[in-house]
Amino acid sequence: MLTQKPKGTNDLFPPEVFLWEEIERKFREVCRRFGYQEIRTPIFEHTELFERGVGETTDIVEKEMYTFLDKAGRSITLRPEGTAAVIRAYVEAKKYADPGPAKYFYIGPMFRYDKPQAGRLRQFHQLGVEILGSDEPMVDAEVILMALEFYREIGLNDVELRLNSVGCPECRKSLREKLIEYFEERKDELCDLCKARLNRNPLRILDCKNESCQKIAQNAPTPLSELCPDCREHFTEVRKYLDLAQVKYVIDPFLVRGLDYYTKTAFEFVVPEIGAQSSIGGGGRYNGLIREIGGPDQPGIGFALGEERTILALKRKSEEIFVPVPDLFVCLLGEEAREYGFPLINELRRLNLWVETDYQGKSLKAQLKAANRLKAKAALIIGEEELKSGRFILRDLETGEQVELSRDELIKKYAKERGKDNA
Ligand code: HAM
């Protein structure tokens, strides 16, 4: 066990980690364009927050939370998702009093004690956003568009958008009754899980993956068929804005999200080819959640994208990962060269260069071999002779060309190049 990671977790090494960095960088960039700012909340919260926020009859709360008592006997839970925590922070800091809407994004690990498989982990990572304080349909459409812009930015152009409206508590009341009546008559054909869900959370039967349940659900009443006039109007408007931005989507009346807080718009991003865990992101509106968590009656909407699944979808296209390489490898030959080179390397690094060197006093041949193995762009050679003459050899490792430079010329050359890079 000592050298084994816990089930459902991953270690991340280079070069894979470069892909993660790139994805997170692009996510931040898209958030900046849409005016979202970062929020960082704790990785653990009081258990009650998720019980209330996510919903007591959800799989997450019933089966999947990492919950423990701390040393003072408080019940603590590792966050299974980000939304409830963001809202807790928003309410606690009374940010709702500021002129809104508030727009936050977050990146980080989430924890669910689920059965691990491809694309399903116990510690996974989400890129998420929440916008609090507006019920405008244009906001729904913009949030969806933003996720799609991010996917486009990272080269995922074929993500399918599935869209639904799950209505408000008003429409849900009559739907619930109708669903219970409908499924009660066909109870024998439901899977055990759905039998248990029937009276507690009948909506979830609609998206059960069991074949028999799916068959029965096909003719069941759906949230979409039971929308009240206000929710219907909202949904029409959301679609109008999506159409204006030429966003393609599939209306999926059976789309029921796994968290209880959703009202009105609900959506998922799907890449069917990556297997059973094909939902690479999802979100929706949650107009009752801020009040449920002790804040004012303000609406909200957001999404979270699974990083692991996003990467699975990307790798389906190409396994190639962009790997950064050192700008320069400084070969140091002898003690005097090391003493001379040590501060010089630091000066070069201040110019924003990635500079590698040899720490072990290897031969020139071995140092050049190391430089090539790292795919360094150039090598600088500092030996006894170079120190005497004050001229150093700079070899371009891609073309093999080399030039002789003084220390000053070397610094100037890189400063000039960097100046251009930064322009
Ligand atoms: P969610 O659908 O539970 O929504 O999770 C969002 C995404 O996280 C999923 O689409 C999936 O890509 C990823 N994900 C979930 N569970 C796992 C897992 N066990 N392993 C790997 N990836 C996983 C939420 O969490 C909501 N908080 C989203 C939201 C934000 N709604 C409104 N605002």
Ordered mean pLDDT values, 10 residues apiece, the chain (423 residues): 95 94 97 98 98 92 96 98 98 96 98 96 98 98 98 96 96 90 92 88 87 91 94 98 98 92 97 92 98 97 98 88 92 96 97 96 97 97 95 96 96 88 55
CB half-sphere exposure, 277, CA atoms < 13 A: 20
Q: Which atom of ligand 1 is nearest to the CA of 268?
A: 10
pLDDT for the residue 318: 80
123 is in an annotated binding site: no
Residue 149 neighbours by CB under 8 Å, 6+ apart: 30, 33, 34
pLDDT for the residue 100: 86
pLDDT for the residue 1: 86
Structure tokens at 97: 């009093």
Q: Is 295 in the pocket of ligand 1 (CB under 6 A)?
A: no
Q: Is 128 in the pocket of ligand 1 (CB under 6 A)?
A: yes
- Say what the pTM is: 0.93
Q: Is 299 in the pocket of ligand 1 (CB under 6 A)?
A: no
Structure tokens at 39: 């929020």
Distance CA 42, CA 343 (A): 41
Structure tokens at 391: 């001229």
pLDDT for the residue 420: 63
For the chain, how many residues are written?
A: 423
Q: Whose C-alpha lies nearest to ligand 1, atom 21?
A: 120
pLDDT for the residue 41: 98
- Exposure string of 173-192, with b = 16+ CB inside 10 Å and e = fewer, is eebbebbeebbeebeeebee
Q: Is 147 in the pocket of ligand 1 (CB under 6 A)?
A: no
pLDDT for the residue 70: 98
Q: Which atom of ligand 1 is nearest to the CA of 259?
A: 3
Of the candidates 12, 83, 23, the one whose C-alpha atom is nearest the C-alpha of residue 53 is 83
106 is in an annotated binding site: no
250-251 and 355-357 beta bridge pairing? unpaired
CB half-sphere exposure, 97, CA atoms < 13 A: 4
Distance 305 CA to ligand 1 centre (A): 6
Q: Which atom of ligand 1 is nearest to the CA of 83?
A: 27
pLDDT for the residue 173: 87
pLDDT for the residue 422: 55
Identify whether the C-beta of residue 141 lies closer than 8 Å to the C-beta of residue 161: no
Domains and their CATH numbers in the chain: 16-168+228-317 (3.30.930.10), 328-417 (3.40.50.800)
Q: Which atom of ligand 1 is nearest to the CA of 82?
A: 27
25 is in an annotated binding site: no
